[in-house]
Amino acid sequence: MNKENIFSKTGISSKKAKASYFTGIISAKDISATIKPTSEKIYHVTFKNGSRTKLHHHDGGQTLIVTSGDGSLILYRKFGNTEENFTIKITKKIKLKTGDCVHIPAMKLHTHGSTNKKISFSHIAINSFPRKNKEPKTTWYESDFRRNVTKILK
């Protein structure tokens, strides 16, 4: 951590999330931009009206800490050796509620977000660096969330 920021209190900036990576309205705050950690990126994400992430994976692991609402984490298995145009199968559905904490291993395909169209769902997302001094990368996919993945999203 940047020692100058350990005891400073500053506002957290909003981060413009790429709309094509989500199924609905979300807002994201970039906590790491304020505190400048050196081994992870940290965001506070709010999913509104049943919105969720599209299918994706991280090259470092990800930890989610639920701060409000009801949501879910869905894990998938990939079938095929191509980078895009492959099939998937749901391997696990995990219900999430305020106070829950889950870890998603590196390179594990998943999606997460709100399960209630009337109540927002929020979590802190901690994206671990895959190696020292190498910032985490997320790969996003277009899919039907059930079986087919059609392309990588840029």
Name the band, by pLDDT with cuts 50, 70 and 90, for residue 1: very low
C-alpha 25: how far from its chain's center? 14
Compute the distance between CA of residue 102 and CA of residue 28 in angstroms, rounded to an integer. Answer: 19
Beta carbons within 10 angstroms of residue 106's beta carbon: 13
Domains of the chain, earliest start first: 11-153 (2.60.120.10)
Query: By mean pLDDT, which of 13-22, 67-76, 126-135 is the weakest?
Result: 13-22
Give, in order, the Cα–Cα distances in Å from 84 to each of 5, 55, 67, 81, 122. 41, 12, 33, 9, 30
Compute the distance between CA of residue 131 and CA of residue 88 in angstroms, rounded to an integer. Answer: 28
Compute the distance between CA of residue 147 and CA of residue 149 in angstroms, rounded to an integer. Answer: 7
Compute the distance between CA of residue 54 and CA of residue 145 in angstroms, rounded to an integer. Answer: 8
Is pLDDT of 126 > 70? yes
Compute the distance between CA of residue 123 and CA of residue 136 in angstroms, rounded to an integer. Answer: 18
pLDDT of residue 17: 76
The string of pLDDT tens digits covering residues 13-39 is 676 678 899 999 999 999 998 899 999
The string of pLDDT tens digits covering residues 46-64 is 999 999 999 999 999 999 9
Assessment of whether the complete model's pTM goes beyond 0.85: yes
Is pLDDT of 8 > 90? no
Query: By mean pLDDT, which of 18-22, 92-96, 106-110 is the weakest?
Result: 18-22
Q: Which of 97, 92, 133, 121 is nearest to 109 (CA)?
A: 92
First and final C-alpha spacing in the chain: 30
Name the band, by pLDDT with cuts 50, 70 and 90, for residue 10: low
pLDDT of residue 5: 46
pLDDT of residue 133: 87
Is pLDDT of 74 > 80? yes
Compute the distance between CA of residue 74 and CA of residue 79 in angstroms, rounded to an integer. Answer: 16
